[in-house]
Amino acid sequence: MSSIVVLVGNPQPGSRTRLVAEELARQLAERTGAHAEPTIDLADVAERMFRFPDEDVDALLSRVAAADILVVASPTYKAAYTGLLKAFLDRYPSSGLAAVTAVPVLTIGAPTHALAVEHTLRPLLVELGASVPSRGLAFPISAIDDRRVIIADWLETEGPRISTS
């Protein structure tokens, strides 16, 4: 069975960014038949991010690289993703995610940040070798209570591009 892994780069544990990413993974699992694995919340390992080697971080890196579909989510910081997410992804070589289909997600505080997902997070995932077949999701954090509907609408357009094969 195909797997979906959620990777959350918010420095706050249990964030609204995580809620958005997990809802996206849930709906993707329903559409594709893939199994949603437990979420990787980088806030849980933030204090170990710069230890080399670190067994726990290395295990998370392996889980991410083994995913069929990877939902990568971060709040928008300075019109980009968080340093925490960058520090984690920097541990991969340039083709470290070559077997992964990635879905970039940024939670945004203002419409002026909507393009950040395409101009910052997508290129990073492509550099790591991931396939990024859909547009990224720029999710307005003020609409957190409407996430099911907003994500379902986004998946109507972008879902067919995301596959587990």
Closest CA to 15 of 150, 148, 144, 121: 144
Sign of CA dihedral 32, 38, 44, 47: negative
Contact 4, 36 (CB under 8 A): yes
**Cα angle at 81 between 110 and 86, to 5 degrees?**
175
Rounded to two decimals, what is the model's pTM? 0.97
Rounded Cα gap, residues 154 and 150, in angstroms: 6
Rounded Cα gap, residues 132 and 118, in angstroms: 10
Contact 40, 5 (CB under 8 A): yes
**pLDDT score at 70:** 98
**pLDDT score at 73:** 98
pLDDT in tens, the chain (165 residues): 799 999 999 999 999 999 999 999 999 999 999 999 999 999 999 999 999 999 999 999 999 999 999 999 999 998 999 999 999 999 999 999 999 999 999 999 999 999 999 999 999 999 999 999 999 999 999 999 999 999 999 999 999 999 765
**pLDDT score at 56:** 96
**pLDDT score at 24:** 98
Place of tokens 């809620």: 19
